[in-house]
């Protein structure tokens, strides 16, 4: 199962990952992007590709 990580030092909470993920892995908590349900991640890396700040990593 893939592991999704958000580098909070790079993340600007632009929500690109939320919009890019077809599996609804990401969400918002107090206006901050978080990994909401990592069990839904299939490792497609759409979030990595869309993050303009390279704050998302997906590890197999």
Domain containing residue 43: CATH number:
3.30.70.20
Q: What is the pTM of this model?
A: 0.92
pLDDT at site 53: 98
Distance CA 59, CA 14 (A): 22
Report CA Rg, the chain. 10
Q: Hey, which residues does 27 pair with through a beta bridge?
A: 34
> Quick one: what percent of the chain has pLDDT higher than 90?
98
Q: How confident is the prediction along the chain (60 residues), in pLDDT tens digits per residue?
A: 899 999 999 999 999 999 999 999 999 999 999 999 999 999 999 999 999 999 999 999
Rounded to whole angstroms, how far apart are CA atoms 2 and 43? 6
What pLDDT was estimated at residue 25? 99
What is the number of domains present in the chain?
Answer: 1
- The H or E element spanning position 48 is helix 46-50
Domain encompassing residue 24:
3-59
């Amino acid at each position: 199962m893939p592991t999704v990580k958000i580098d909070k030092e790079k993340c600007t909470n632009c929500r690109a990952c939320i919009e890019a993920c077809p599996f609804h892995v990401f969400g918002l908590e107090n206006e901050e992007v978080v990994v909401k349900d990592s069990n839904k991640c299939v490792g497609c890396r759409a979030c990595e590709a869309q993050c303009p700040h390279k704050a998302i990593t997906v590890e197999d």
